[in-house]
Structure 1
Amino acid sequence: MNIRVSASDVAERTLGIIRDLKHLEGPMLPILHAIQAEFGYVPEEVKPLIASELNLSRAEVHGVVTFYHEFRDHPAGRHVLKLCRAEACQAMGSDRLADRVRQLLGIDFHQTTLDRAVTLEPVFCLGLCACAPAAMLDGEVYGRVDEHCLSEIMAEVRQ
């Protein structure tokens, strides 16, 4: 179910988040994380609000949002599947798994399935190098991901 939020509601909620967090030292990242938690992504229209409230340029805010892979510019699916793309995971076969996931879902990285069930994202280290290849589904990490584990993950996201 996709619930529409009015532009004024987005602005009001965003300003509330900014005012709650702008007292922090280096508040932009906590503010961006809170906005993404609130809306599921960082809407384009909030960047000027953040810039104004933090006395920054819109380019500075945009630069931070686009620099960090964690921030999205569009809503994610019901499930977010992250596949590690770091060297240890690549050495243990993550490229082959990534190809299989893209084939099964019919999407590429940074895309969401048409039914809005799954968003596929690359991540550049989950800290499970000794258990490579690694994946994360909705915040739950999986190590030593193989075809069997991948099948279980795919079954979970397709329910």
Structure 2
Amino acid sequence: MPMLIDTIDDASARAACARAANRPDALIEILHDVQRTSGFVGDRAIATIADALNLSRAEVLGVLSFYHDFRRQPGPRHILKLCRAEACQAVGGEALANRLEAALASAADRIEIRSVYCLGNCALGPAALLDDRPIGRLDPDALIDELTANGALPGDVE
């Protein structure tokens, strides 16, 4: 398949497109695949995906920028999505979120905290997703201990 003249091929993006049979209707799945393998979807990947799926770069970028789960730049290794909806607020979620944000501020290069508004785990609030793994009845001390034990945080975070 001919490449665009100004395109620099991204092998992982090309492989993700091939796994999806170069189907334009699989664009979101392809973007997830690229981000899972590379950690983000960069300019080279956008150009390669556009070429492989016969889409414009603007179409790929439009989908990429619409969904907040995609990253255009490398980011921290871990993402903690904290539920800020009413059910979690009712069981102390706001105080917990404030404590976690303060405790993890010094580790912003290792973990990103995002607010979400329902994880479908209301009965086990306060709830969160740590790298897409659900956590119910979230306890900030236990979470910080787990992150420290896994090397996601330095040992001096409190």
- In structure 2, distance between residues paired with 1:86 and 1:68: 20
2:120 is aligned with what amino acid? G
In 2: Cα distance, 1:87 partner to 1:55 partner? 44
| Aligned counterparts, 1:34-113, within 5 A | 34-106=33-105, 113=108
1:122 corresponds, among 115, 128, 142, to: 115
**Shift in alpha-carbon separation, 1:67–1:91, aligned structure 2, 3 A:** farther
Q: How does 1:22-37 map to 2 (within 5 A)?
A: 22-24=21-23, 26-37=25-36
- Aligned-partner Cα distance in 2 for 1:12–1:140: 28
TM-score by length of 1: 0.75
Matched position secondary structure for 2:114: strand
Q: Distance in 1 between matches of 2:101 and 2:54?
A: 41
Aligned identity (percent) is: 40
Between the aligned partners of 2:77 and 2:132, the Cα distance in structure 1 is 12
Matched to 1:155, the amino acid is D
Q: Which runs of 5+ in 1 are unaligned?
A: 1-7
What are the superposed Cα offsets for residues 7-40 of structure 1, whole Å, 9 maximum, x if unpaired?
x6x7122112112214557210110111011101
Whole-angstrom CA distance in 1 between matches of 2:24 and 2:61: 19
Change (3 A) 1:56 1:24: closer
Residue in 2 aligned with 1:4? none
Cα deviation for residue 55 of structure 1 reads 2.3
Stretches of structure 2 that go unaligned for 5 or more consecutive residues are: 1-7, 150-158
CA distance in 1, matches of 2:133, 2:62: 29
Aligned partners of 2:74 and 2:147: how far apart in 1? 17
In structure 1, distance between residues paired with 2:24 and 2:47: 20
**What SS class does the counterpart of residue 137 from structure 2 fall into?**
coil
> How many residue pairs get matched?
143
Kindly state the Cα deviation for residue 152 of structure 1 after the two structures are TM-superposed: 0.6
Shift of 1:46: 1.4
Deviation at 1:85, TM superposition (A): 2.9
Q: Which moved more, 1:128-137 or 1:26-35?
A: 128-137
Q: TM-score, with normalisation over the residues of structure 2?
A: 0.75
Larger radius of gyration: 2
Seen in structure 2, the aligned counterparts of structure 1 residues 90 and 63 have a Cα distance that, compared at 3 Å, is: farther
